[in-house]
């Protein structure tokens, strides 16, 4: 059993614990590589099926190719896809020019809250990883949020021996992070090994640009790269020294931007 | 923080290690130093932090490298575990950075439970402190015995060998009392980089390894493939035509064709296939740490919590066992209160049966005459679960010999099972039942087939309560009413068993209860709903009957004005006067529990 096998088996265990212990679960599918491998792991965990609905938060500012990819594979893999939007904020003209953090909160965080209330979800499976940025490093696999979606990172439940927090008062909901222990490199190595179809925005254009992390078109930049396929991305990452989310503008807004966003319910 | 790139070799697994110790003894500094001295920092990170320090007018410290959160910087303590990657020339490591503040013990436990080796840090100037001992004890409880002690801040004591030796003697004695032997005691200055990556000149009296040397000497934890097969059932899936038993192999190996037993239900079957999705060919075997699924040759009832093993390597099944427990809850762990134990995938109500020894983990002193432990303390105790659980001793199979305790909503404690003594009558009877069930010659007609024809599954309805409460008439009405609905009901009177089957034993209550149970079991095996009343029965006898009826369902109806135990249905003597209504109530319950399913239901 190699390192990827270990990661895979652990993630499958967590997904099955989530499915067994919580009713009204949803899995967030951002179309990015992380939530796409998580979806793949779910199909492994449930022997070719994905019994959990997949929620995609559409800010309407997503790169169009992402929507095409989403709809194609939702059909191809027979997924139960639920699309959420904060229509009210969009009608009021929300966009990143009103402030990136304000926009993220309105369209992503509140967009997510809207769909969760509407569908009655009490648990959400997310493809975040500890190595993405500092605040995510502090997460648990099973992480409670209060009724306002807030995360109290100072008082988190202990997690040992794969015994997760599965009991909650009615006003909390739970976030589950099955690939928390993976790194960016692990994700790409796994994509390579499993031959998982991944959106081609990650691959370098002839001009030598590629996306390393996907988000809304106005706030997501490309990096300089000649990596045209998964193998080349794995090679590139082995030698990378810059941060994965360096192309994501909201992180750079100020020193504690991500912490603030996440304490208030951002993914 | 993060994956710092440059992986030496992908085929080698990561070494997971934790750094623990008292608050302010220098953990974050050591981590920062390890990152820096092994060249594991991302480009520009060191300069970035140095620049921030300049801006804020602070002296640069290695610990700042780890301050990922605002709050952390303000309080100057690591509030939570996080993982930091680094590599030596030998292999890759992930450090689980665990906080040393007493209030954050649960975070320390979270970090350490996942680690394979530990560095325990002691400040040379402050010496052995409260958390030094507490963390030592907890590492032992977590089964983490691959430990090296790092004596830090030697620069503050003039690199004095005497200081080093004093701490070494004191702390190695402490560890010895726990049965732990540290690999090494390394004198260092994390701040100045002394003896971290290389031995420096300041302490010529120290000839041992550096911190990095020691790390590279630690061994990867071997996977428990050589131990008996253990598979706690996580779930049973029926997404398509396959009925898949899902879970993780905790130890040992499973092969297609193996004859397996599920405990505590004692059901057995043969493994037909091992299922897998998106693989070139279906596997024939599975080993430890694999999350798998398999199908069986027959449709036996298996549920989450059952522990699947091979026939000749059974786990222990009991309601009582001895354990060492550490407690992290705000409320006390005390006698008389109910908790939930989570042991693999089993989840059962439990309580402390007896405190053998309550211990202050920071001094190892026994807290005398204490029937509780408070936050951060440990205890040797006997636990009693409400229903039997399957487990192993921690010393023989670690993963199925440990558990957590949940108080209300929160995981508040953890423990390891140290000993089990099958001394109680109940334990002996359970062992007897197990032998009986394993050797039982099964009919070709399956219980499901009988249930299909009868319109109900077999069950024992035990009507209990004080004499004269109206149990007899109720039992008769129930028998008649079930019979009229074309169900196979039979009222098994204890007196009839005593007149014949037990005529030879005189007044032995215990043996008479056992024989009644065995007779009931035969009727249950024949598919009947067996009704029995118990006048003079002690509660203990009723427990025996439940045990003997295994694996069939037992429903207890208590007719009483003073309820005792935990019956499934409680009927007051007044209610029992109206036998028809009371009988209907019972039947509704049986329908709800899917014991009465009606005829011609589909399987």
SS3 annotation, B248-295: ECCECEEECCCEEEEECCCEEEEEEEEECCCCCCCCCEEECCCEEEEE
Domain coverage including residue A127: 3-183
CB atoms < 10 A from the CB of B242, how many?
Answer: 15
CATH no. for residue B239? 2.40.30.10
Q: Identify the DSSP state of B42.
A: P
Measure the CA angle with vertex B583, ends B579 and B589; round to 5°.
150
Q: Are residues A43 and A115 in the same domain?
A: yes
In order, the DSSP letters of B315-360 are: PEEEEEEEEEEEE--SS-EETT--EEEEETTEEEEEEEEEEEEEEE
Q: Which of B6, B7, B28 to mutate to test the interface with A (most CBs of A within 10 A)?
A: B7
- Candidates B267, B276, B312; CA nearest to B294 is B276
Query: Does B119 share its domain with B187?
Result: yes
| Residue A68 pLDDT level (bands cut at 50, 70, 90) | very high
Summary mean pLDDT of chain B? 85
Q: Give the tens place of pLDDT for each residue, B38-54.
A: 877 766 667 777 777 77
Shared-domain flag, residues B209 and B235:
no
Question: Residue B340 and residue A167: Cβ atoms within 8 Å?
Answer: yes
Output B541 or A23, whichever has higher pLDDT: A23
Average of per-residue pLDDT across B164-184? 91
- The answer, yes or no, to whether residue A261 has pLDDT greater than 70, is no
* Facing A20 at nearest CB: one of B69, B234, B240: B234
Whether residue A169 sits in one domain with residue A201: no
pLDDT at A248 over 70: no
Q: What is the full DSSP assignment across B462-473?
A: EEEESTTSSHHH
Q: What tokens appear for A101 in the block? A: 């953090």
Stretch among B61-75, B98-112, B246-260, B345-359 having the lowest mean pLDDT: B61-75
pLDDT at B466 over 90: no
| pLDDT computed for residue B426 by the predictor | 76
Closest approach of chain B CAs to the CA of A103, in angstroms? 23
Tell me the DSSP string of chain A: --HHHHHHHHHHHHHHHHHHH-SSEEEE--SSHHHHHHHHHHHHHTTT---S-EEEE--S-B-HHHHHHHHHHHHHTT--EEEE--HHHHHTT--GGG-HHHHHIIIIIHHHHHHHHHHT--EEE----TTTSTTGGG--SEEEE-TT----TTSPPP-BTTB------TT-EEEE-TTTT--HHHHHHHHHHHT----GGGSPPTTSEE-SS--BGGGB--EE----SHHHHHHHHHT--S-GGGGBGGGGSSTTHHHHHHHTT--
Based on the fold, state whether residues B153 and B77 are members of the same structural domain. yes
| Residue-level pLDDT at A220 | 78
Q: Among A160, A183, A206, which residue terminates a domain?
A: A183
Question: Is there a single domain that holds both residue B567 and residue B487?
Answer: yes
pLDDT at A10 over 60: yes
Partner-chain contact B277 A48, CB within 8 Å: yes
CATH number, residue B136: 3.40.50.300
Mutate which of A20, A137, A261 to test chain B, going by most B C-beta atoms within 10 A?
Answer: A137
List CB contacts (< 8 A) between A2 and chain B: 10-11, 13
Interchain pair A130, B82: CB under 8 A? yes
Confidence of residue A133 (pLDDT cuts 50, 70, 90): low
Domain of residue B564 covers 452-592
> In B, which residues are within 8 Å of A130 by CB distance?
82-83
Q: Which is more confident, B340 or A105? A: B340
Examine residue B429 and state whether it is found in any structural domain, yes or no.
Answer: no
A204 backbone dihedrals φ, ψ, rounded to 5°:
-65, 140
The C-alpha atoms of residue A151 and residue B107 are separated, in whole angstroms, by: 16
The sign one gets for the Cα dihedral B398, B401, B405, B409 is positive
A185: nearest CB among B7, B113, B248: B7
pLDDT, position B10: 39
Q: Using CB atoms, which residue from A3, A163, A238 is nearest to B404?
A: A163
- B5 to A184: CB separation less than 8 angstroms, yes or no: no
Q: What is the pLDDT of residue B404?
A: 95
Inter-residue contact A92 to A150 (CB < 8 Å) = no
Q: Residue A3: is its pLDDT beyond 60? A: yes
In terms of pLDDT, which residue wins out, B510 or A226?
A226
Residue of chain B nearest A153, judged by CA positions:
B80
Q: What are phi and psi of A15, to 5 degrees?
A: -60, -40
Same domain membership, residue B298 and residue B333? no
Would you call A158 and B293 a contact, using CB atoms and an 8 Å cutoff? no
Judging contacts by C-beta atoms under 8 Å, the chain A residues touching residue B414 are 158, 160-161
At residue B589, the pLDDT reads 95
Residues of B in contact with A3 (CB under 8 A): 10-14
Answer whether B277 sits within 8 Å of A134, measured CB to CB: no
Which of A6, A48, A163 faces B411 most closely, judged by CB atoms?
Answer: A163
Look at residue B100 in the predicted model and tell me its pLDDT: 52
Say if residue B289 is in the same domain as residue B321.
no
- B158 pLDDT band, cuts 50/70/90, is very high
Q: Are residues A74 and A177 in the same domain?
A: yes
DSSP structure string for B167-220: HHHHHHHHHHHHT---S-EEE-BTTTTBTSSS--TT-TT--S--HHHHHHHSPP
pLDDT confidence band for B13 (50 / 70 / 90): low
**Exposure of B159 in the CB half-sphere (CA atoms within 13 A):** 13
Query: Are residues A113 and A219 located together in one domain of the fold?
Result: no
- Cα-based distances in Å from A63 to A50, A59, A93, A220, B42: 25, 10, 18, 9, 30
Which residue among A1, A46, A156 places its CB closest to the CB of B223?
A: A1
The confidence score (pLDDT) of residue B544 equals: 81
Q: Residue B93, Cα to own-chain centre: how many angstroms? A: 27
Residue of B nearest to A131 (CA): B2
CB B291 to CB A16 under 8 A?
A: yes
Residue A148: per-residue pLDDT: 67
Euclidean distance between CA atoms B193 and B579, whole angstroms: 84
Nearest CB to B402 within list A132, A161, A244: A161
Of B310, B343, B358, which one is at a domain's C-terminal end?
B310
Using alpha carbons only, give the angle A62, A63, A65 rounded to the nearest 5 degrees: 125
Inter-chain residue contact A167 with B409, CB threshold 8 Å: yes
A91 domain residue, yes or no = yes
- Checking if the pLDDT of B536 tops 50, the result is no
Query: Does A17 have pLDDT greater than 50?
Result: yes
Same domain, B258 and B279: yes
Average pLDDT rounded to a whole number, residues B278-293? 92
**Length of chain B as a residue count:** 603
Q: How many CB pairs under 8 A join A and B?
A: 171
Pairing of strands B459-465, B553-559: parallel
Residues A77 and A155 both lie in one domain: yes
**pLDDT given at position B83:** 65
B71 closest CB neighbour out of A47, A154, A239: A154
Domain end marker among B310, B344, B359: B310
Residue-level length of chain A: 267
Beta partners for B339? B350
In a domain, B440, yes or no: no
Report the residue from A46, A133, A169 with minimal CB separation from B237. A46
Q: Mutate which of A7, A47, A243, A263 to test chain B, going by most B C-beta atoms within 10 A?
A: A47
Question: How many structural domains compose chain B?
Answer: 4
The shortest C-alpha distance from A62 to chain B (Å) reads: 27
Could you tell me if residue A258 is inside a domain? no
In angstroms, the Cα distances linking B522 to B299, B450, B458, B492 are 21, 14, 11, 11
The reported pLDDT for the residue numbered B297 is 93
Q: How far is A133 from chain B (nearest CA, A)?
A: 7
Closest chain B residue to the Cα of A237, Cα to Cα: B5
Determine the residue of chain A that is closest to B344 in CA distance.
A163
pLDDT in tens, B23-39: 778 887 888 888 888 87
Instruction: HSE, CB side, 13 Å, CA atoms: give it for residue B227.
Output: 22
Residues A178, A190, single domain; the answer is no
Those residues whose C-beta lies under 8 Å from the C-beta of residue B431, and which sit 6 or more positions away, are B422
Residue B175 tokens, joined: 């560890």
Domain count, chain A: 2
Average pLDDT over residues B161-172: 94
ipTM for the assembly: 0.89
pLDDT at residue A25 greater than cutoff 60: yes
When CB atoms are compared, the residue of B4, B82, B291 closest to A13 is B291
Closest CA in chain A for residue B85: A131
CA distance A181 to chain B (A): 9
Which of B280, B310, B340 terminates a domain? The answer is: B310
In the three-class reduction of DSSP (H, G, I as helix; E, B as strand; rest coil), residue B93 is classed as: strand
Least confident of A91-100, A113-122, B390-399: A91-100
Give the strand pairing for B346-360 and B378-391. antiparallel
Question: Same domain for B341 and B306?
Answer: no
Per-residue model confidence (pLDDT) at position B533 = 85
Chain B residues lying within 8 Å of A41, measured CB to CB: none
- pLDDT bin (cut points 50, 70, 90) of residue B256 is very high
Nearest by CB to B69, from A17, A49, A138: name it.
A138
Q: What is the pLDDT of residue A53?
A: 96
Percent of chain A with pLDDT over 90: 39
Assess whether pLDDT exceeds 90 at residue B89.
no
Q: What's the whole-model pTM score?
A: 0.79
Q: Give the mutation candidate from B1, B3, B230 for the A interface (greatest A CB count, under 10 A).
A: B3
Same domain, A63 and A144: yes
Residue B3 lies in a domain: no
Q: How is residue B275 written in tokens?
A: 């299922």
Enumerate residues 6+ apart whose C-beta is below 8 A from B147: B117, B118, B119, B120, B136, B139, B175, B180, B182, B183
Residues A108 and A236 in one domain: no
Q: B416: helix, coil or strand?
A: strand
Does a structural domain hold residue B269? yes
Number of H helices, E strands in chain B: 15, 28
Residue to test with chain B: of A132, A160, A191, A245, most B Cβ within 10 A: A160
In this prediction, residue B538 carries a pLDDT of 66
Model confidence at A249, pLDDT cuts 50, 70, 90, reads low
Residue B107 included in any domain: yes
User: pLDDT value at position A51?
Assistant: 95
| Pair A196, A248 in one domain | yes
B346-360 and B553-559 beta bridge pairing = unpaired
> Do B145 and B59 lie in a common domain?
yes
- Write down the pLDDT at residue B288: 93
């Amino acid at each position: 059993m190699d390192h990827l096998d270990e990661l895979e088996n652990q993630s499958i265990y967590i997904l099955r614990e989530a499915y067994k212990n919580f009713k009204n679960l949803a899995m967030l599918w951002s179309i990015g590589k992380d939530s796409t491998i998580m979806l793949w792991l779910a199909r492994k965990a449930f022997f070719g099926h994905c019994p959990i609905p997949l929620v995609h938060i559409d800010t309407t500012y997503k790169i169009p190719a992402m929507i095409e990819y989403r709809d194609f594979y939702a059909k191809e893999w027979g997924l139960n896809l639920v699309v959420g939007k904060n229509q009210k904020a969009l009608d009021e003209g929300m966009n990143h020019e009103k402030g990136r953090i304000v926009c993220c909160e309105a369209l992503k965080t509140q967009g997510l809250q809207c769909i969760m209330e509407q569908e009655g979800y009490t648990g959400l499976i997310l493809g975040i990883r500890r190595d993405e940025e500092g605040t995510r490093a502090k997460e648990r696999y099973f992480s409670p949020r209060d009724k306002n979606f807030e995360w109290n990172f100072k008082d988190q439940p202990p997690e040992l021996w794969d015994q997760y927090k599965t009991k909650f008062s009615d006003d909390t909901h739970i976030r589950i992070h099955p690939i928390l222990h993976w790194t960016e490199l692990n994700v790409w190595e796994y994509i390579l090994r499993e031959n998982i179809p991944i959106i081609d925005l990650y691959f370098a254009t002839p001009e030598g640009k590629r996306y390393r992390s996907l988000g809304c078109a106005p706030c997501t930049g490309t990096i300089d790269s000649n990596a045209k396929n998964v193998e080349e991305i794995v090679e590139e990452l082995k030698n990378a020294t810059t941060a994965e989310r360096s192309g994501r503008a909201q992180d750079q807004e100020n020193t504690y931007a991500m912490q603030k966003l996440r304490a208030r319910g951002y993914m | 923080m993060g994956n710092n790139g440059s992986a030496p070799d992908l085929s080698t697994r990561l070494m997971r290690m934790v750094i623990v110790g008292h608050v302010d003894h220098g953990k974050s500094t050591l981590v920062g130093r390890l990152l820096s001295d092994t060249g594991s920092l991302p480009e520009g990170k060191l300069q970035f932090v140095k620049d921030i320090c300049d801006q804020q007018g602070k002296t640069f410290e290695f610990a700042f490298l780890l301050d990922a959160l605002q709050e952390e910087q303000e309080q100057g303590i690591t509030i939570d575990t996080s993982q930091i990657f680094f590599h030596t020339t030998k292999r890759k490591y992930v450090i689980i950075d665990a906080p040393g503040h007493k209030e954050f013990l649960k975070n320390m436990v979270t970090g350490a439970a996942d680690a394979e080796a530990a560095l325990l840090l002691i400040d040379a100037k402050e010496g052995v402190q409260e958390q030094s001992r507490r963390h030592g004890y907890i590492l032992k409880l977590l089964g983490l015995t691959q430990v090296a002690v790092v004596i830090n801040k030697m620069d503050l004591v003039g690199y004095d060998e005497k200081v080093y030796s004093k701490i070494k003697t004191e702390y190695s004695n402490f560890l010895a009392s726990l049965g732990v032997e540290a690999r090494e005691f390394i004198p260092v200055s994390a701040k100045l980089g002394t003896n971290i990556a290389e031995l420096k000149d300041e302490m010529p009296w120290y000839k041992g390894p550096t911190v990095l040397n020691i790390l590279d000497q630690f061994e990867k934890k071997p996977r428990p493939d050589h131990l008996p097969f253990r598979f706690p059932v996580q779930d049973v899936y029926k997404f398509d035509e396959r009925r898949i038993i899902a879970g993780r192999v905790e130890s040992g190996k499973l092969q297609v064709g193996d004859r397996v037993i599920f405990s505590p239900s004692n059901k057995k079957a043969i493994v037909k296939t091992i299922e897998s999705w998106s693989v070139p060919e279906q596997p024939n075997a599975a080993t430890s740490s694999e999350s798998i699924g398999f199908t069986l040759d027959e449709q036996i009832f298996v549920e989450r919590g059952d522990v699947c093993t091979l026939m000749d390597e059974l786990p222990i099944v009991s309601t009582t066992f001895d354990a060492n427990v550490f407690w992290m809850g705000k409320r006390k762990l005390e006698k008389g209160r109910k908790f939930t134990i989570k042991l693999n995938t089993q989840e059962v109500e439990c309580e402390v049966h007896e405190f053998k020894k309550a211990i202050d983990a920071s001094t190892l002193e026994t807290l005398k005459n204490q029937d509780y432990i408070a936050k951060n303390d440990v205890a040797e105790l006997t636990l009693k679960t409400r229903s039997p659980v399957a487990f192993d001793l921690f010393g023989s199979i670690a993963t199925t010999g440990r558990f957590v305790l949940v108080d209300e909503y929160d995981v508040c404690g953890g423990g390891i099972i140290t000993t089990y003594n099958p001394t109680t009558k109940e334990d002996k009877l359970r062992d007897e039942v197990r032998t009986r069930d394993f050797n039982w010659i099964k009919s070709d007609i399956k219980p499901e087939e009988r249930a299909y024809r009868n319109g109900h599954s077999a069950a024992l309805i035990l009507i209990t309560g004080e004499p004269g409460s109206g149990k007899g008439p109720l039992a008769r009405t129930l028998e008649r009413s079930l019979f009229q609905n074309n169900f196979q009901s039979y009222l098994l009177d204890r007196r009839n068993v005593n007149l014949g089957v037990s005529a030879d034993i005189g007044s032995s209550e215990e043996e008479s209860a056992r024989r009644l149970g065995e007779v009931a079991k035969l009727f249950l095996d024949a598919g009947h709903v067996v009704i029995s009343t118990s006048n003079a029965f002690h509660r203990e006898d009723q427990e025996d009957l439940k045990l003997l009826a295994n694996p069939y369902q037992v429903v207890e109806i208590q007719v009483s004005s003073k309820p005792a135990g935990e019956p499934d249905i409680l009927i007051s003597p007044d209610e029992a006067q109206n036998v028809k209504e009371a009988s209907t109530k019972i039947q509704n319950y049986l329908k709800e529990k899917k014991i009465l399913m009606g005829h011609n239901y589909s399987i």
